[in-house]
Amino acid sequence: MSVISNEKIDEQKLDRASKIILELQKELPEYIRNGSGPFLAAIFDESGNLIAKEANSVVSKLCSHNHAEMNTIAAAEQKLKTYDLSQHNLSLYVTSEPCIMCLGGIMWSGIKAVYYGVSSKRVEEITCFDEGFKPDWLNEFKKRGITVYGHIETEIGEKVLKQYVEDGFTVYKPER
């Protein structure tokens, strides 16, 4: 699957994102072994400084909205002592495409760019997680000035998700 974006692909941005997402994918198995869910996110400032990094903690904290993106945004807000991150020109990097809930959190937080690994379609196929209905979200983010690049370092990300399922970890979702 080739990289997608809501802007003309900037090779420098893509190279930086690939390095960060690859590192997150490599770190993720350790987070899973320590009780986190199969997603990891990090926020960096425009100078490349790590502001926050958090994993999914839905199962370990018994809280349905403790997704990696939401946890990372909350940690950044606490560190920077603000609910409006827009003044800091931050980018969010995440191992998989954000779900519908996280898209709302990202939009409202003031994050300026999102870079993700595995697509929601593949996450659903591999894990059976329900990623939600997200029509035309890349263009909706573009209208709001939020840059998006996706399908970055997907091969290793898919391997991590497959291992999560094979190892019998909880795939959380409400009964329908």
CB 41 within 8 A of CB 68: yes
Query: pTM for this one?
Result: 0.96
Are 127 and 165 in contact, with CB atoms under 8 Å apart? yes
Instruction: Tell me what the pLDDT averaged over the chain comes to.
Output: 95
pLDDT of 95 reads 98
Distance CA(43)–CA(9), nearest Å, equals 20
Share of the chain above pLDDT 90, in %: 90
CA distance 176 to 173: 9
Q: Residue 93 pLDDT more than 80?
A: yes
Answer yes or no: are the C-beta atoms of 158 and 122 closer than 8 Å.
yes
Give the integer Cα–Cα distance in Å for 151 and 155: 9
Helix (H, G, I), strand (E, B) or coil at 51: strand
| Residues 46-91: tens digit of each pLDDT | 999 999 999 999 999 999 999 999 999 999 999 999 999 999 999 9
